[in-house]
Chains A and B, each alone.
Chain A
């Protein structure tokens, strides 16, 4: 109890100081303005997936970054189920409560497009996109394929068996986009996670997979799997995968990112929204953010607030086109 009072006091001092700095000119972009300032208490960060997965890792990273930035205590709650629907529905029910946050990613957009849920991205207040995670097209070391063009050519000829991890997963989407762009069809075998796909590739059940660099780096470095191309706009700068050409270089006009970030419930005050945006900006400037992004081989394309909403609108339209097939 005592420590909470101390924290609140420090927070109040910090806000007063900030308000002092940005004295006259307009509303400060920082911690929510001086009067009627939003002060978080007992914050929950919902992770709509089980503990231990990629969403859980990003949720915990964001929560600890925001804790350092705000001094508030943020408890991570895993509310898994329904491919994320349970967690999002829970946040949906918290409309107007600025002490709830949710570690979000592409399922925010894909679930409402494919499943009968009561919300879509406009039901929430998007705060920050943390960064992007693209995928690499990978094959076993002894595969005859040397480039993504080889894979497409084979799909045109005798057929290629690709791995997908779920009906609305990132790899399902990128393979569909390649099919649409190149007018070919892949044979699919469904798996349930990236590591299952790796086992399927190593065991020879599937010929081609599409995986996040962070998921597959161990097998790439050992030489068990090879990366043919990356489905990103530009080549990666991480030295381990800098040599991998993009699909676009090979004439396959496909790039698609899974984004990660966090959102707040709908209907919260502008002060609360600005408060969280300011906290997010502070987190992105920290060492912890850079470390998270680099460990997961992601792209640090952070955007906030309105810009994030615009991004979601575009991304949702792209997804709809890909899933319409």
Chain B
């Protein structure tokens, strides 16, 4: 174990590897920042320029792009309510509210700190227990994933607290939009109206750009010439109290993120909103979720970083990619003449341990890079809207075109931009809609597979202890708050008398 780490440090701590690690995380931050360009596309596009490198150097840089993008995706989510990465959609909810209150700096800083802590925790877990964890992850087969998807839907529906019906409505709308395209399993065309562009469904990235970025711009334009956010520099810098308040959220987010990241195919988007959904339930500051709670930023941002690292558990230990980006990275292994698979740890110890150690270095670099930059980026909001909005519109449309080199994507973004505006007008929550769209294909796939396994009988779910456990947890998410409320009222009286936590409840 110690030997391996030593080997890893020897490999990762060469000038060349540190340099390319830095280039990777920097590029990753920029890629994460740009709407439309996600880490998967980023890694795939930049893959060819690494052909001339040593395999380990190339993989260190490519992996740097991946986790660097998790940091970068946050910046636009917070500042202009436009998620740069799918895994940062949830961050817009509280992050943008914080920015409106002049607290963009702390939001960005806590996201960098949370990401860093999550990365370190998940790396320690990854290094210590990757192989046994990978075996546990294999227990999550289609039947178990079906239960996980139901849990996901429950969390999405109850996402924004009070407006349960609105949340449910929007999540269902998202699921319905997700049915467009070729059906998984059977291959039938649904709602495509003969348009080949619709065969693969309504792509999530375009919807995200439209609903969030354009929707917000249209809405602000209608509100008229609002004053730019006036924030004192003092408010731009994170306070010690912000960090201590967020610590439980960061730790929980890291755990939840890691757990979901280990499951092949679940990915960091699922992890980030599961974490937010759960945090909203258990946080001591739950009342201010959705209104600019710093925990609402810390939790999903920690989770998506933990998940990004945890994705390497099945990737390195089993040769099965944990998500889309790690799938591209596995492809890169082959290009460098390395056979991804369970033997990688034994046959390429230098590469595997060098890569893992480089994650530590990369995350330290990211923290050093992002923490001082947080107040600087936050200054962007001082730009008068008259200049800021055209820039957002332009980058959104270019981003949309860049996703698929196709004008159809641009039209989609505009259509969903108008829809996003209308949703804002009538105060419908957008996150459940987008997450319903993300969850739709995953849910349907698990449903079709489970049905095939049970030969039409979905009851097979109850034969799996793991699935039953997950379903019980989902049920508890709905039922327990209803039971707890009367109890809490009884307790609240006591607490106030003792004076504990008075400000928080």
* Residues of chain A contacted by B41 (CB below 8 angstroms): 51
Please state if A80 and B344 are interface contacts (CB–CB under 8 Å). no
Distance, CA A203 to CA B44, complexed state (A): 29
Please state if A77 and B405 are interface contacts (CB–CB under 8 Å). yes
Distance, CA A78 to CA B200, complexed state (A): 14
**B31-45 vs A, Cβ < 8 Å mask (1 yes, 0 no):** 000000000110111
Please state if B187 and A167 are interface contacts (CB–CB under 8 Å). yes
A13 to chain B minimum Cβ distance, whole angstroms, is 28
Q: Which of B43-69 contact A (CB under 8 A)?
A: 43-45, 47-48
Identify A52's interface contact among B44, B141, B142, CB under 8 A: B44
Please state if A192 and B337 are interface contacts (CB–CB under 8 Å). no
- Given A205-B142, A218-B341, verify A196-B48 contact (CB < 8 Å): no
Distance, CA A78 to CA B203, complexed state (A): 15
Identify B405's interface contact among A60, A79, A85, A193, CB under 8 A: A79
Which A residue sits closest to B135, measured CB to CB? Answer: A202
Please state if B200 and A79 are interface contacts (CB–CB under 8 Å). no
B148 to chain A minimum Cβ distance, whole angstroms, is 14
Q: At the interface with chain A, which of B150-158, B268-276, B280-288, B316-324? A: B316-324
**B199-230 vs A, Cβ < 8 Å mask (1 yes, 0 no):** 11001000000000000000000000000000
Contact of B395 with A by CB under 8 A: no
* Residues of chain A contacted by B328 (CB below 8 angstroms): 51-52
Please state if B185 and A203 are interface contacts (CB–CB under 8 Å). no
Please state if A198 and B45 are interface contacts (CB–CB under 8 Å). no
Identify A86's interface contact among B189, B318, B406, CB under 8 A: B406
Q: At the interface with chain A, which of B366-374, B428-436, B444-452? A: B444-452
Contact of B128 with A by CB under 8 A: no
Which B residue sits closest to A88, measured CB to CB? Answer: B196
Which B residue sits closest to A117, measured CB to CB? Answer: B196
Please state if A167 and B186 are interface contacts (CB–CB under 8 Å). yes
* Residues of chain B contacted by A191 (CB below 8 angstroms): 449
Distance, CA A118 to CA B327, complexed state (A): 32
Distance, CA A224 to CA B318, complexed state (A): 9
Distance, CA A199 to CA B452, complexed state (A): 17
**B387-410 vs A, Cβ < 8 Å mask (1 yes, 0 no):** 000000000000000001110000
Distance, CA A12 to CA B427, complexed state (A): 65
Contact of B139 with A by CB under 8 A: yes
Please state if B186 and A83 are interface contacts (CB–CB under 8 Å). no
B61 to chain A minimum Cβ distance, whole angstroms, is 16
Contact of A200 with B by CB under 8 A: yes
Identify B319's interface contact among A60, A168, A218, CB under 8 A: A218
Identify B189's interface contact among A51, A77, A116, A222, CB under 8 A: A116
A77 to chain B minimum Cβ distance, whole angstroms, is 5
- Given A51-B40, A116-B194, verify A221-B343 contact (CB < 8 Å): yes
Distance, CA A56 to CA B43, complexed state (A): 13
- Given A82-B182, A190-B448, verify A52-B320 contact (CB < 8 Å): no
* Residues of chain A contacted by B337 (CB below 8 angstroms): 295
Contact of B453 with A by CB under 8 A: yes
Contact of A251 with B by CB under 8 A: no
Please state if A187 and B455 are interface contacts (CB–CB under 8 Å). yes
B215 to chain A minimum Cβ distance, whole angstroms, is 24
**A181-197 vs B, Cβ < 8 Å mask (1 yes, 0 no):** 00000011111110110
* Residues of chain A contacted by B196 (CB below 8 angstroms): 81-82, 85-86, 89, 117
Distance, CA A134 to CA B43, complexed state (A): 29
B228 to chain A minimum Cβ distance, whole angstroms, is 38
Distance, CA A81 to CA B406, complexed state (A): 11
Which B residue sits closest to A64, measured CB to CB? Answer: B48
Please state if B341 and A203 are interface contacts (CB–CB under 8 Å). no
Contact of A166 with B by CB under 8 A: yes
Contact of B248 with A by CB under 8 A: no
Please state if B452 and A85 are interface contacts (CB–CB under 8 Å). no
Please state if A86 and B197 are interface contacts (CB–CB under 8 Å). yes
Taking A195-B327, A221-B339 as known contacts, 6 extra A-B pairs with beta carbons closer than 8 A to each other, sorted by chain A number, are A52-B44, A81-B196, A168-B187, A193-B327, A214-B334, A218-B319
- What are the 10 A-B residue pairs with the smallest beta carbon separation, nearest first? A218-B341, A82-B199, A51-B44, A167-B187, A52-B328, A222-B342, A81-B200, A190-B185, A203-B138, A218-B319
The contact sample of 6 A-B pairs, CB cut-off 8 A, is: A52-B328, A52-B331, A78-B404, A116-B189, A189-B142, A203-B141
